[in-house]
Structure 1
Amino acid sequence: MSIAISDIVFFDQSTAEKETYQTPEEKRINGNPLQAIINHYSDSSNQFHTGIWESEVGCWHVHYTEHEFCQILDGISIVRDKNGNERTLQTGDNFVIPAGFEGEWEVVEPCRKIYVIFEPAS
C-alpha cells in the first residue's frame, strides 16, 4: 500500500466531529464533568488513535489499559496514583502514561490536550 500526501492527517484540516460525553457515574469522585474528544485518526487495527480531548472541572478514577502520550494545550489537571502521589499538569507539559496506571485524574481548570494512544491487542 502506498501512502500519499493526501493520506496525512492535519488536525487543523480534519473533518472529524467532536463527540461529547459525561464521565460515567461509577468513575466520578467530584463533579460531573462534560468531556469531549475529536479523534482525528485511528489506524486499521484500531490500536492507534490520536486527537484532541477536552474536559470541564471534575475528578474521576482512571485505569489505563492503553499507553498514552499527552500534550496539555490549555488548563490545569492533577494526576494521582493509587498511593496518593500526584503531579500537576499544565499548559506545555508533555508526558506518557503507561498501560497499567491506576489512580485519579482531576481537572482543576478546564483542560484540553492532544492525545496519542496505543492500545495493545489483548
Structure 2
Amino acid sequence: MTITFRAAELNSASGIFQQALLGQPSAEPLGGDIITRADVEFTSDDGRIQSGVWESEPGKSRWEFLTRGEIITIVSGAMTVEEDDGDPVHLVAGTSAIFPIGWKGTWTVTETVRKVFVVYNV
C-alpha cells in the first residue's frame, strides 16, 4: 500500500485536522497556550512510527526527545530551533531537520508553521 497526500494543499478548516493545545508528552509551551493541528496519515502496526502533517501557531516551546526522534520538512511558515548549548537554526519552507533521540531544546514558531513529520519511538 502506498499512502500519498499533498501537505501544502490540506485545508486545516476542513475538519481532518485534530486541534489541540501543545502540551506534554510532546512539548511544554513557554509563555502561553499554543494551538496545534495534526493529521496522522500513517501509524505502523507496532505504533513505533507515525507520519503526517502538523501545524503550530506562533509561540515558544521546550522539546525533549528522550524516547523518540523526529524528522520534519517545513511546508510553510517559519520557526527557529535551538538545541541546548547549540546555535539557533532558522527553518523555512523547504527545509528539513532531524531531531534524534536525546535532542533537547526550544522551538520558536514565528509564523504559523506546517510540517510533514515522521516520528519514531524506541
Tell me the TM-score normalized by structure 1: 0.83
**Residue in 2 that maps onto 1:115:** 117
- Whichever of the two has the greater Rg, that structure is 1
Gaps of 5+ in 1: 1-6
**Residue in 1 that maps onto 2:16:** 17
- Structure 2 letter corresponding to 1:78: T
Task: Tell me if the contact between 1:75 and 1:111 (Cα under 8 Å) persists in the aligned partners.
Answer: yes
How far 1:84 moved relative to its partner? 5.2
How far 1:32 moved relative to its partner? 1.7
- Structure 1 letter corresponding to 2:47: N
Q: Tell me which stretches of 4 or more aligned residues in structure 1 moved more than 2 Å.
A: none
Task: Tell me if the contact between 1:50 and 1:115 (Cα under 8 Å) persists in the aligned partners.
Answer: yes
How far 1:119 moved relative to its partner? 0.8
**Residue in 2 that maps onto 1:61:** 62
Structure (1/2) with the larger helix percentage: 1
In structure 1, what is the Cα distance between the partners aligned to 2:20 and 2:100?
A: 24
Task: Provide the secondary structure at the position in 1 that maps to 2:78.
Answer: strand
Count residues in correspondence: 111
Task: Tell me if the contact between 1:35 and 1:55 (Cα under 8 Å) persists in the aligned partners.
Answer: yes
